[in-house]
Amino acid sequence: MNTNDLFRLDGRVALVTGGAGIYGTHITRALAEVGANVIVASRNLEQCEAVAAQMSSEGLKVFARHLDLGSGESIRDLCDGIVADFGKLDILFNNAVARAGGDPSTVTEEDWVRAMEINSTGFFLACKIFGEQMVKQRSGVIVNISSIYGVVGPNFNIYEGTDITSPANYAFAKGGMVNFTRYAASYYGRFGIRVNCISPGGFQTDQPDVFIKNYSKQTPLGRMATDDDIKGAAVFLASDASAYITGHNLMVDGGWTAI
């Protein structure tokens, strides 16, 4: 196959959960730019529709759907709807995340349970239900979006001078996601399904200047992640360019975990 063709996703159907969020918007755009039909789904259908409308106006094939990861029925309904509308599901990006509470000094039992409903149970059910469709097809790609904090502990020094902290339940869920990726790769490989993970570093948005400065000093590349940094990794793991890669956790972190 021509090298350029390895990265193309023409005719493939992809779902990005939380696809209208910080990472999700860029993942959605990246997949659509290389030819995929991309469904962007979350609880906030209005936000998904806005993303889909904008990208569709640019000639990209992006569609909005509702998805509540706190409900197995909602996940099943979306899977059935995608198959009814598109005939298949080739690619799943588990990108949605719920943030509740903060570090151990402030997080409550309710915060923990609420976050786990999405980040643990919902994540598992998405892998299970959409994975069942891929088993029927004997093909598919699952990419889970974890975090550097699923691999290493947080450096609390970077939060000094801000009201930002690192949620305890986030680290727990993202660490579990990394190893479940390996489990799922082992289980689903026999069905022609690849399962990989991307662990991004911090994404620069509207954080305080002191946080951006503190964070950037900790990375060999000297900066936080920006818009395009996740796009290449997403296309690589979704496409045939990574056809012999499964069970891998790709660090997209500017070198944060290298030192």
50: pLDDT strictly greater than 90:
yes
Percent of the chain with pLDDT over 90: 98
Query: Could you tell me the CA-to-CA distances from 47 to 4, 64, 111, 149 in Å, in that order?
Result: 33, 9, 24, 27
User: What per-residue confidence (pLDDT) applies to 108?
Assistant: 94
Q: Which residues are catalytic?
A: 170
Residue pLDDT, tens place only, 177-215? 999 999 999 999 999 999 999 999 999 999 999 999 999
Q: What integer is the mean pLDDT of 125-148?
A: 98
Q: What is the average pLDDT score of the chain? A: 97
Q: What integer is the mean pLDDT of 214-241?
A: 97
User: What per-residue confidence (pLDDT) applies to 100?
Assistant: 82
Contacts of 170 (CB under 8 A, 6+ apart): 97, 99, 115, 119, 147, 149
Residue pLDDT, tens place only, 4-33? 999 999 999 999 999 999 999 999 999 999
Residue pLDDT, tens place only, 87-117? 999 999 999 999 888 999 999 999 999 999 9
Q: What integer is the mean pLDDT of 146-174?
A: 95
Q: What integer is the mean pLDDT of 231-237?
A: 97
1: pLDDT strictly greater than 90:
no
User: What per-residue confidence (pLDDT) applies to 101?
Assistant: 87
Helix (H) or strand (E) holding 200: strand 193-200
| Tally of CA atoms within 13 A in the half-sphere of 246 that contains its CB | 20
- Domains present along the chain, CATH in parentheses: 3-251 (3.40.50.720)
User: What per-residue confidence (pLDDT) applies to 35?
Assistant: 98
Locate 24 and state its tokens. 């999700």
Res. 249 pLDDT band, cuts 50 70 90: very high
Res. 227 pLDDT band, cuts 50 70 90: confident
| DSSP code at position 258 | G
User: What per-residue confidence (pLDDT) applies to 21?
Assistant: 92
Q: What integer is the mean pLDDT of 78-88?
A: 98
